């Protein structure tokens, strides 16, 4: 009886939450969202303990983001094997743990040697990216130009307006917004110009309703600007505020990079 129950639970989890299927559903989206919320709370406590500002990690963590996204893209294109460790959430758990461990070790080394912990984090991130970079054997430069061109075109509007709009005058806020415009650009090009589909629940519904992934631009812009406004208006604690913004930025860059790399390697 107990074995049957365990088997049913395992089958439910592998079918509806962690699975090899083509996309997300309402259940695993909710589960992953709750897990992310818990992780953010723990990270806030960690940053307070080590007395560091999450804002300082914008640049140092980019190689780690690239590592997670490129590994996932290499799986998408059949270069790496399809396994639970290399799909969502496995690869992002591995990447997150690697980032946190590197952060803690780097802070410890900084206190002992006065070496800037941010440079150490960035260096480790670059090193772990090398195998992924070496396995990228094909790049569609047309698709790459389409994504970067779309991103530059839409982003330029907010870059020009930044000095006239207090919300995005802050460089951190602007970076968060541009990260998600990048994600929207990759989704738009992949779906409207190439045979790709959207995996997330709400964007997939809106794209189906409008018939174009252009809808991702207003969706991303409205949601991110609203989130930034709420964070700046109602959260006074610096660590909480910057950790939330860093988490939102990482979500935008990671999904955008995965989409971009999957597209340019697979077309």
The low-confidence residues of the chain, meaning pLDDT below 70, are 1-29, 198-201, 267
Summarised one tens digit per residue, pLDDT across range 78-133 is 899 888 777 777 888 899 999 999 999 999 999 999 899 999 999 999 999 999 99
pLDDT on residue 129: 97
pLDDT on residue 78: 87
244: number of CA atoms within 13 Å, CB side?
A: 16
* Cβ atoms of residues 260 and 188 within 8 Å: no
Q: Which of these, 74, 33, 60, 61, lies nearest to 250 by C-alpha position?
A: 61
* Cβ atoms of residues 61 and 117 within 8 Å: no
pLDDT on residue 29: 66
The total number of structural domains that make up the chain: 1
pLDDT on residue 114: 87
pLDDT on residue 137: 84
pLDDT on residue 92: 85
HEC string of 74-93 equals: HHHCCCCCCCHHHCCCHHHH
Whole domain around residue 221: which residue ranges?
2-266
The pTM score is 0.88
Residues, the chain: 267
pLDDT on residue 34: 84
Summarised one tens digit per residue, pLDDT across range 145-167 is 999 999 999 999 999 999 889 89
């Amino acid at each position: 009886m107990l074995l049957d129950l365990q088997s049913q639970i395992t089958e439910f989890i592998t079918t509806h939450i962690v699975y090899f299927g083509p996309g997300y559903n309402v259940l695993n989206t909710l589960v992953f969202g709750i897990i992310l919320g818990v992780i953010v709370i723990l990270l806030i406590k960690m940053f307070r303990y080590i007395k560091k500002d999450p804002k300082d990690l914008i640049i140092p963590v980019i190689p780690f983001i690239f590592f997670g996204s490129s590994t996932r893209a290499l799986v998408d294109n059949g270069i790496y094997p399809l396994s639970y460790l290399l799909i969502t959430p496995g690869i992002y758990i591995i990447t997150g743990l690697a980032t946190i461990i590197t952060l803690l070790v780097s802070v410890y080394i900084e206190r002992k040697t006065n070496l800037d912990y941010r440079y150490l984090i960035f260096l480790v991130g670059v090193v772990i990216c090398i195998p992924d970079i070496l396995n990228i054997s094909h790049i569609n430069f047309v698709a790459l130009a389409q994504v970067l061109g779309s991103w530059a075109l839409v982003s330029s509007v907010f870059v020009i307006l930044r000095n006239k709009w207090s919300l995005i005058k802050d460089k951190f806020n602007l970076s968060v917004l541009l990260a998600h415009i990048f994600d929207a650009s990759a989704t738009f090009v992949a779906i409207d110009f190439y045979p790709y589909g959207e995996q997330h629940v709400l964007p997939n519904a809106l794209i189906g309703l409008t018939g174009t992934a252009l809808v991702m631009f207003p969706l991303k812009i409205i949601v991110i600007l609203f989130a930034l406004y709420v964070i700046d208006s109602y959260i006074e604690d610096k660590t909480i505020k910057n950790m939330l913004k860093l988490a939102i930025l990482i979500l935008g860059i990671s999904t955008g990079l995965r989409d971009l790399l999957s597209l340019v390697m697979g077309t």
